[in-house]
Amino acid sequence: MSNYIYALDTTNKRPLPINVDSNGNLQVDIVSGGGGGGDATASNQTASKAVLDNILTKNGEIETTADAILAKNTEVKTSVDAVNTSLSDVASATKQQTLITANHADLVAISGTLSKMNPDYVQSTLVNNALITSGGDTSEIDMGDHRHLTLFGTTDTNFGNWILIRKSGTGGTKIPDGSKMISASEAIASSGVYSFAITIENVGTRYLALRNTAGTSQTSTIYQVLHR
């Protein structure tokens, strides 16, 4: 007589033998499920599949949302980068303006120093109570980097005339400029001398002199003022 291992059929309330193959391997029916509701085609398995499908759908929605967030983050980063670039430009412009302001202050200071070193005008004595013979010249006038010239002074000769002499260089060839005539005719009361003054703008020649064209010797005092 064979011995069997039994299990309870809970539906029909009766013991049933457990089925094995010829090798003693347990045989279990998972397709029909024996009507217990646990088989693969049962409604609970269909429901489980629907739940899983819903989870997959939700995962797809989450992935789509994550992609949208990533895209928005990229837009935000682009905007932030643009703002940072603008801020850098502003900082650079501010720095440049600071440098410009500082440079301007330095240039003003340098200009002031140069003005003290090279004032806008320089006055000196060309002739000091000296006798200049007829046709004779005064000492040389060096304009340097000045453009304008003022000459004024006194002579003991009424209508004592002078003419401007242009020179090719220091001690160079002398060229009379007949357009620049000076005549002393303003008598200084009770002094026996006569005064004169002339301003020549944009002289155009560095080295100059005055020539006595009065036809007689003159004892004169002449001052020169060089202007920028």
Give tens-digit pLDDT for 109-141: 776 666 566 668 899 999 999 999 999 999 999
Whose CA is closest to 138, among 46, 223, 11, 22? 223
Give the integer Cα–Cα distance in Å for 146 and 228. Answer: 5
Binning pLDDT at 50, 70 and 90, where does residue 41 land? low
How confident is the model at residue 112, as a pLDDT?
A: 64
Residue 173's CB is within 10 A of a number of other CB atoms, namely 8
Quickly tell me which residue has 């009770």 as its tokens. Answer: 190
Whose CA is closest to 140, among 27, 46, 43, 222? 222
What's the length of the chain? 228
Give tens-digit pLDDT for 140-197: 999 999 999 999 999 999 989 999 999 999 999 999 998 888 988 888 877 889 999 9
Give tens-digit pLDDT for 65-103: 888 888 888 888 888 888 888 888 877 778 788 888 888
